[in-house]
C-alpha cells in the first residue's frame, strides 16, 4: 500500500513538473478551456437573468390576467381584419355578469397624445379603463385615489398619472388636484400610480395616463368600440375555465356559427409566459451551443499539445519503463497532465465568467443571474473534456515499446 501511494505521488509530481516546465505552452493550451467555460457561465447567466426578468415583467401584467382583443372576421373563406372593433361595452358587461370564473373586468381602449401641465408638456399613452383596472393589473397608487364608478358612468374628466408622466409634468410639485390638458381637454389629476417599470415588450408601463374609458370614448377618441377587454380570473386554476366561458359567451353574442372563426382573440398570462419561456430557452440553447464549441476546441488543443508532448518525451518514457514503470503508470501520468490542464483552465474560466457577468450586469444594465449549478456543470464538463481528449495521447504514450523509445532521438 505504501509503495502504491509513493508511486502515485511520484506520478503526480512528474506530471506537475512537466506542466511547469512548459509554462507558456501550458497557458496557451488551457486558453481554449478558459474561454469555453467562461462563455458557459456568461451565457447561462444572461439566459437565466433574462428569464427571471421576463417572468417578473409578465407577473407585473396583473393577477390571473386575460386579455380579449378584437380580431379578424372570415368572409368568403378569407380572414379580413375589420377597421371597426368587434368588442363593445355591452360585451364587457356581459363577461362580468355571466362568466362565473371571472373576478374583475375592465373595458379598455388606447390612444396617444400630447399632455400639457403649465409650461411642461409630454407625449404619452392615454389609456381608458374601468374601476376594476387596478385590481386586474395589481397596480397600487403612490398617492391620491383612483377614479370611482360614478365618475366612469358620468364620463368625468379625471386622470391618474403614471410615474414617468409625473416626472415629466410635475418634477417638483404635487400633481394631486392639478389641471392638465389632454388633447386640449382639461382633466383633473386625482392619483399617481406606483412605479411599475418596463413591460415584456420593452416599453415603459409608467409612461401613460389612465382615464375612465367612457371619457376616452366621448372626449378623446370619439369611438364607441373597445380596443380590448382586460379580465382577471378568480384564481390561477380558473384561467382556463374563464377563457372557455368568455369564448362561448362572445361567440353567442356575436352570432358566430359553429365552425366559423371568432372575430376576437384571447391571450392569457400563462400563454404569454410560455411564449417568452420558449424564446428565452431558444436563445439560451444557441448561446450554450457556442460555448460548447469553444470547449471542444479547447479540448482539441489539449489533445494536440499532449500528442506533441508524447513525441518530445518518447525517450523519457522509454527510460521510465525500462526501470520498472508499467504502461498503466505512463497512462495515468499523461492523463493526469491533461486533466490538470483542463481543471486549471476550468477554474480560471469560472472566475472569468463570474467577473464578466458582473461587469455586464453593472455597465450594460442587462439582467444576469449566475446559478451555482451552472458553475458546477461547466467545471465538471471541463474535467470531462480533459479526460476525453487526453485519453488518446495518454494511451499512445502507454503503448510505446520501451526498446524503440530508448532508441528514439
Return the number of other C-beta atoms located less than 10 Å from residue 399's C-beta. 10
Give per-residue pLDDT as tens, 124-137. 999 999 999 999 88
Cα–Cα distance for residue pair 334/7, rounded to 1 Å: 14
> Residue 172: which residues within 8 A CB-CB, separation 6 or more?
none
pLDDT of amino acid 78: 43
Instruction: Indicate the domain borders of the chain.
Output: 7-57+275-407, 72-262
Residue of higher predicted confidence among 337 and 155: 155
Give per-residue pLDDT as tens, 248-284. 999 999 998 888 888 888 888 666 666 666 666 777 7
pLDDT of amino acid 330: 72
Q: What is the pTM of this model?
A: 0.61
Q: Which of 84-88, 189-193, 202-206 has the highest mean pLDDT?
A: 189-193
pLDDT of amino acid 343: 81
Give per-residue pLDDT as tens, 72-97. 544 444 444 455 678 999 999 999 99
CB 214 within 8 A of CB 153: yes
CB 279 within 8 A of CB 91: no
Q: What percent of the chain has pLDDT over 70?
A: 77
Q: What's the pLDDT band for 310 if we cut at 50, 70, 90?
A: confident
Cα–Cα distance for residue pair 184/116, rounded to 1 Å: 8
Q: Is 55 exposed, middle or buried (0-12, 13-18, 19+ CB in 10 A)?
A: middle
Residue 405 has pLDDT above 60, yes or no: no
pLDDT of amino acid 13: 62
Q: What is the mean pLDDT of the chain?
A: 80
CB 163 within 8 A of CB 195: yes
Cα–Cα distance for residue pair 344/37, rounded to 1 Å: 11
Q: Is 401 exposed, middle or buried (0-12, 13-18, 19+ CB in 10 A)?
A: exposed
Cα–Cα distance for residue pair 135/144, rounded to 1 Å: 16
Mean pLDDT score, 235-254? 90
Give per-residue pLDDT as tens, 90-127. 999 999 999 999 999 999 999 988 999 988 999 999 99
Cα–Cα distance for residue pair 137/193, rounded to 1 Å: 11
Beta strand 102-117 pairing with 179-182:
antiparallel
Cα–Cα distance for residue pair 248/92, rounded to 1 Å: 14
pLDDT of amino acid 192: 95
pLDDT of amino acid 179: 94
Amino acid at each position: 500500500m505504501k509503495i502504491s501511494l509513493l508511486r502515485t505521488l511520484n506520478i503526480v509530481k512528474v506530471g506537475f513538473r512537466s506542466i511547469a516546465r512548459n509554462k507558456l505552452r501550458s497557458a496557451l493550451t488551457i486558453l481554449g478551456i478558459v474561454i469555453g467555460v467562461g462563455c458557459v457561465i456568461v451565457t447561462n447567466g444572461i439566459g437565466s437573468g433574462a428569464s427571471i426578468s421576463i417572468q417578473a415583467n409578465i407577473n407585473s401584467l396583473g393577477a390571473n390576467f386575460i386579455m380579449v382583443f378584437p380580431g379578424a372576421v372570415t368572409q368568403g373563406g378569407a380572414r379580413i381584419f375589420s377597421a371597426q372593433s368587434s368588442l363593445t361595452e355591452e360585451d364587457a358587461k356581459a363577461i362580468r355578469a355571466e362568466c362565473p370564473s371571472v373576478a374583475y373586468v375592465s373595458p379598455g381602449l388606447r390612444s396617444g397624445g400630447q399632455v400639457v401641465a403649465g409650461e411642461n408638456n409630454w407625449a404619452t399613452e392615454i389609456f381608458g379603463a374601468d374601476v376594476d383596472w387596478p385590481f386586474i393589473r395589481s397596480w397600487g397608487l403612490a398617492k391620491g385615489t383612483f377614479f370611482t364608478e360614478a365618475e366612469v358612468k358620468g364620463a368625468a374628466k379625471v386622470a391618474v398619472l403614471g410615474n414617468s408622466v409625473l416626472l415629466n409634468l410635475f418634477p417638483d410639485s404635487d400633481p394631486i388636484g392639478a389641471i392638465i390638458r389632454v388633447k386640449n381637454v382639461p382633466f383633473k389629476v386625482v392619483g399617481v400610480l406606483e412605479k411599475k417599470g418596463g413591460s415584456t415588450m420593452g416599453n415603459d408601463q409608467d409612461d401613460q395616463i389612465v382615464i375612465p374609458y367612457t371619457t376616452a370614448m366621448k372626449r378623446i377618441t370619439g369611438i364607441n368600440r373597445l380596443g380590448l377587454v382586460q379580465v382577471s380570473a378568480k384564481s390561477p386554476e380558473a384561467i382556463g375555465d374563464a377563457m372557455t366561458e368568455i369564448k362561448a359567451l362572445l361567440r353567442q353574442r356575436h352570432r358566430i356559427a359553429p365552425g366559423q372563426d371568432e372575430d376576437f382573440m384571447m391571450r392569457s398570462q400563462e400563454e404569454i409566459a410560455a411564449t417568452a419561456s420558449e424564446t428565452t430557452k431558444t436563445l439560451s440553447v444557441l448561446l450554450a451551443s457556442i460555448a460548447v464549441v469553444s470547449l471542444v476546441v479547447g479540448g482539441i488543443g489539449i489533445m494536440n499539445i499532449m500528442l506533441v508532448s508524447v513525441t518530445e518525451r518518447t525517450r523519457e518514457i522509454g527510460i521510465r519503463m525500462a526501470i520498472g514503470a508499467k504502461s498503466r503508470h505512463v497512462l495515468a501520468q499523461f492523463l493526469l497532465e491533461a486533466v490538470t490542464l483542463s481543471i486549471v483552465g476550468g477554474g480560471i474560466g469560472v472566475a472569468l465568467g463570474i467577473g464578466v457577468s458582473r461587469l455586464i450586469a453593472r455597465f450594460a444594465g442587462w439582467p444576469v443571474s449566475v446559478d451555482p449549478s451552472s458553475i458546477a456543470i461547466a467545471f465538471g464538463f471541463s474535467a470531462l473534456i480533459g479526460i476525453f481528449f487526453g485519453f488518446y495521447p495518454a494511451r499512445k504514450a502507454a503503448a510505446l515499446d520501451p526498446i524503440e523509445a530508448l532508441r528514439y532521438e
